[in-house]
Amino acid sequence: MISAFQAVTDRKLRTFFAVGVCALALAGCGGGADSVAGKIISGGQKPIEISPETFAPPVSCPPLQLKSNTYLIMKYARGKQDDPDALLYQATVEDWAVTCTEEAGGGRRMKLGFSGDVTPGPAWKGGEVALPLRVAITPGEEAKPLTSEVLKIPVTMAEGAPSQKWTLIEEKFTIPAGASVKVVFGFDEGRRR
């Protein structure tokens, strides 16, 4: 005589084997993740596609160097240099960063970021300031720069305004394939770098 426990257990085993046989049969018919069996096994979810670039090592960037004594501009009213009451504004470079991406042909494109502050002085009457930041890409200390350009950073300040934060992000500079360079930058009020 078969006990109730054995009857239930036998029924569960038969059902399990039947489902397994059906799944195998379906897998043989369609194959792949789009088949019925594939959908049953994966729970109906499509596989997640991940770009191989996700695991690629970062593209190396050249070092950034602030040129000596170019982090500060103090602009005075004409003919009143170094008179504290004639100070129009004072600007500083405080932070900088760079990231690079690879270009076709092996070159690299830089994304440069710079930021700082502009503080109006006692003689400031309000308006816009165009801060001149020179960026030069050089292969060595005494070598002629591959590229050298003054970027104008517009900052608008009202008379008696508090210090204003400025930010510049520039992506136009590229480095040729295989070149070993550094990026030298700083405020440039007309002197050649």
Question: In Å, what is the CA distance from 69 to each residue of 88, 106, 147?
Answer: 20, 35, 21
Res 48: pLDDT: 72
pLDDT lower than 70: segments of the chain: 1-45, 47, 53-54, 56, 141, 191-193
Res 43: pLDDT: 62
Res 18: pLDDT: 53
Res 154: pLDDT: 95
Q: How far apart are CA 17 and CA 8, in angstroms?
A: 14
Res 186: pLDDT: 96
CATH class in words for 54-187: mainly beta
CA neighbours within 13 Å on the CB side: how many for 22?
A: 9
Q: How far apart are CA 91 and CA 94, in angstroms?
A: 10
Res 5: pLDDT: 47
Q: How far apart are CA 31 and CA 100, in angstroms?
A: 43
Q: Which residues of 114-129 are buried (b: 16+ CB within 10 A; e: fewer)?
A: bbbebbbbebbeeeeb
Whether the predicted model's global pTM rises above the 0.75 cut:
no
